Amino acid sequence: MYENSIQRFFLVLIISIILAGCGVKAPPAIPRQTMAPEVSNLQYELEDNILSLNWTIPETEDECKNR
Instruction: Tell me the torsion sign for CA atoms 36, 42, 47, 48.
Output: positive
Give the whole-angstrom CA distance, residue 30 versus residue 28: 7
- The reply to whether the predicted model has a pTM over 0.75 is no
Of 59, 65, 63, 62, nearest in space to 38 by CA: 59
Per DSSP bridges, beta strands 50-54 and 43-47 are antiparallel
Q: Where are the beta strands (DSSP E) in the chain?
A: 43-47, 50-54
Question: Is residue 17 within 8 Å of residue 9, measured between CB atoms?
Answer: no
- Written as tens digits, the pLDDT of the chain (67 aa) is 567 888 899 999 988 888 777 666 778 888 888 777 788 899 999 999 999 999 988 776 665 555 5
Reported as a single tens digit per residue, the pLDDT across 30-42 is 888 877 778 889 9
